[in-house]
Structure 1
Amino acid sequence: WNYVVESQYGNEGMVEGKCPNRGESPAMDSKSQSLVLMNFFTTDPNPTGVCGNNSAPLVSMLKTCHDLSGNRWPNYIAVDYYMRSDGGGAPLATDVANGHLVCGCDNIAYCKVPTRHSEPA
């Protein structure tokens, strides 16, 4: 807890518009910790219902937790059944978070590699 804040796992952590901290974790907006872990999975694993959870609701929670974590994007995103979604899923959420962390873009795909200027001969 010296380095990370963590959102509540399970059903209590999946409430739209909220991003409560895990009981043992400092508050999500604590700036004393440099890392953010966002949990997004139900209390009881459900391989069929997870497709809906790992789609638009996951990306929505990513943005909610950003806003409630002192405008910090999560460094870690924990989900169940990461390969299942109705579109985008955990890879999309990771691309969104990484895009913001790396270059301030909405997706890592939008980050451009800086070009080097050649020195005159």
Structure 2
Amino acid sequence: MRVRTTIRTVRSSLLGLGLLAAAGGSAASETAAPAEGVPEGAVVQIVDFMRFEPVTLTVEPGTTVTWINNDGSNHIIQLRQGGKSPRLRHGANWSRSFDTPGEYPYICAIHGERMSGTIIVQAP
């Protein structure tokens, strides 16, 4: 009787693990994708605590750039030329349009210079 119970428990455990594996996808692959409706080339991900990805993003005038916080920490995007996002919690995003060619450096207002990036706006 004890052997049957053990075999049944092992079968159930293996079935459960198989279902979990089949349900698939890691959280990292899901969070790395841009938010729905946001152009892929105009997205900056906040990942791995203290890192913007990409660090430098080149766009055409009139492009809206969206920052998406896929990190466990809160962040505030602060542009050196002025303007900043509200506090972005995990999963939150903030967008800003860039109409004039030039370089737009930014930092995280919470974490300072060690967390920085640049948007470069140039004509095609």
Normalization by structure 2: what TM-score?
A: 0.28
Structure showing the higher strand proportion among its residues: 2
Q: Which has the higher helix share?
A: 1
Q: Which has the larger Rg?
A: 2
Using the size of structure 1 for normalisation, the TM-score is 0.28
